[in-house]
Structure 1
C-alpha cells in the first residue's frame, strides 16, 4: 500500500448527526487564534476538508473536526469544524463529538464523575461539563457563545411560496426560523426532502432580502441554515418543541442542532416564551433530543443576547485511517447532484 498522505479519524455521532474527529495527520497550521487557523485551512488546505467529506470517503451527511493545538492558554485543545460547504465558527453536535472523542480516547485525561473541559472553537472558548462513568462520556453540556436575534417576524417573498414570515438569529451559525405547520410540515422523516427543497428557497430569499452580519465579526455573515419549528408546549419540566433544520447545501440535520437550539433559545427568550434557567427539550426530526437552557442574559454590541447551555450525548462508531493513493483520480473527492443538491 502506498499513500501520499493519511489521516487518523475517529468516527462519532451526536444525537444521530455525524461529527468525525481527525486526531492525526495535521500537526498544526498558522494562526494566532482558532478563527485565523480556520481561515488558513479554508484558503490553503481546503483539500483536507474535501478529501474527508466528499465521496468516496464521505457523504452528504458527514461532518468532521480537525484537532489542533489551542491558541488560548485557557483551552486544553482546539478544533476547526469542517462541513460540506463551509467552515462554521461553532457547531453544537460537533462540539459534543469532539469532547467525547478526546476524553474516551485519552487525548485529554478523563476524570469521573465529572470532567470540566475547555476547548477553543473558531467562535471562541467553549466550556464543557462532561458526565463520565466507567470510561464513557454519558453527557456533554457546553456553554455556547452568546446567541442573539437579528430580526423578528419579518415577511419575505419566496418564489413559489409567497410571503413567508421569518425570524433570524445567530447561535454559532446564522439561522432563519420559520413556522413548520404554516408551511404544511409536521416535521416527520418522510417530509425531509420536501423540507430541504423548501428550505433552500427560503434561505436564498432571506439572504437576498435581509442583512445578517455579526456585529463583532463582519466575516460571519449570511444565513446558513433554516429551522422549521413545530409548536412549543409547556410541561411540568419546562418547554418542549420539535424542529427540523435544513443545513448547508440542503439536507436535514439528524440532531436537534446545537447552534440552532441556541438560536431558537434567543428567539424564544426575545418573544417571552422561555425564562432564564428554564429547561427546553428540543426534539429533532429523527426523534433525538438536546436539552437547552438560557443560562443568563448579556449583550453583543448593544444587542440583547443570551448565554445558552446545550446538553447531549455522542457515541464513537469507528477508528481508522483515511488515505490517498497518489494515483487516485479523486484527490479532493467528488460530488454529484443526485444527493449533493
Structure 2
C-alpha cells in the first residue's frame, strides 16, 4: 500500500483540521468502521510489530474515531495494511474502545464485504490493498466466489466471499473465513465471583476468552440485563487474569483475556447456542462474535460435541447468527486444536469524512 494515500500531516495532527475517511458496515449487528484514508501506514515486519507501532503512534487517532463524539463505547474499527507475508493480499488491524485487538471475526466478514463491494483490495493475481483491479478480477466470468487472504496479528486468515451479480454491480451475500487454530487453554477453572466460584473455560479463537454458562453465572443473556452482564463480564476477565497467566503456547505476543462469553440456550429455531460477548473495556458484541464462536467451538469439540463439517449455529443477543464448522484438526504445541470456518453476512451502512480540529477540546474523543 502506498503511503501517499495517507494524509502527511499526522506528526502535527492537532495543529490542523485533519480529515479521516471511513466506510462503515455491520456484520450481524456489530459495527465495523474501516478507515480508508487519513491514517499513516503502520510499520513493522510482522503484524504484531505493525500492531505495536499503531499502539504507540496511532492511539490518539483510534480514540478520536472510535469514541464519542464520532463513535461510541461499543464501536469497532479496522485498518488495512501492507501484508506481512508474500501469500496475503492485505494485512488488517482491528481497534476498539480499549485498544488494538489481535483478530476479529465479524471484522473479517465486514472488511471482506467492503473490500469487494468498494474495490479496496486487488485479489486477481497477487496484489496489495488500494491498487484497484478488483473489478477486473470480478468481471472475468463473474465468479460466484472469491478468496481474500489476510495477515492478522493472530496469524493468517483466509476469507471466501460468496457473490451475487446484478448487472455491473456485485453483492457479497456471505463471507466464510478459515480462522486460526482454536483450542481450549484450560477447562473448568473455578473463578471467584463475589462469595462463590463459577466454572470458566479458557479458550483461544484468535484471542483468549473466558467462557461461562449464564445460568451458572446467574445472569440471563438478554438486553434487559446488559448492565449486569457488562459488569460481571469484566469481573470474570480480571479474575481469570489474576489467577492465571494466559499466554499462547506458540506466540508470547498473544496473551491475556480479551473478553468473557456468556452462553445460554438458543432462542431461535436453527441455533444451537445463544451468547453475548463482553470484551475490551466492557464493550458488548451485537454479533455472535466470530473469534468467540471459534473459541466456543473449541470448548464444544473438547467435550466431544462437534462433528467435522456439521454446522454449528451461534446466536447473538440480538438474534443474528454465525455458522461455524470444523474443517481441520491440528495440534498447537501440546494442545489439540480445531481449524474452524465461520460464516456470516455484512452490510455497508455509510461512508464518512471525519474532521478533527486541533482547537477542539474533545478532539481525542471521550467515554461516558
Tell me which interval the TM-score lies in, with the shorter structure as reference length.
Answer: over 0.9
Number of aligned residue pairs = 331
Which residue in 1 is equivalent to 2:145?
114
Structure 1 length-normalised TM: 0.93
Which residue in 1 is equivalent to 2:188?
153
Q: Deviations over 1:254-282 (max 9, x none)?
A: 00000000000111101111122221000
CA separation of 1:161 and 1:253: change in aligned 2, threshold 3 A: farther
- The 3-state SS of whatever aligns with 1:324 is strand
The 4+ residue runs of structure 1 with deviation greater than 6 A are: none
Offset, 1:231:
3.8
- What is the distance in 2 between the residues matched to 1:311 and 1:247? 21
Which residues of 2 match residues 311-326 of structure 1 at below 5 A?
Answer: 311-326=343-358
Single out whichever of 327-336 and 302-311 deviates more from structure 2.
327-336
Which residue in 2 is equivalent to 1:282?
314
Which residue in 2 is equivalent to 1:69?
82
Unpaired runs of 5+ in structure 2? 1-14, 122-133
- What is the distance in 2 between the residues matched to 1:232 and 1:256? 12
Q: Deviations over 1:75-105 (max 9, x none)?
A: 1122110111121110001111111111110
Unpaired runs of 5+ in structure 1? 337-341
Offset, 1:27:
4.6
Pick aligned residue for 1:11 from 14, 24, 46: 24
Matched, 1:206 2:240: yes
Which residue in 2 is equivalent to 1:131?
162
- What is the distance in 1 between the residues matched to 2:172 and 2:26? 13
- What is the distance in 2 between the residues matched to 1:126 and 1:175? 19
- What is the distance in 1 between the residues matched to 2:226 and 2:352? 31
- The 3-state SS of whatever aligns with 1:94 is helix
Structure 2 length-normalised TM: 0.86
- What is the distance in 2 between the residues matched to 1:168 and 1:54? 29
Give the root-mean-square deviation of aligned CA atoms: 1.8
- What is the distance in 1 between the residues matched to 2:60 and 2:242? 30
- What is the distance in 1 between the residues matched to 2:352 and 2:326? 38
Is 1:3–1:323's contact at 8 Å kept on the other side of the alignment?
no
Which residues of 2 match residues 31-46 of structure 1 at below 5 A?
Answer: 31-46=44-59
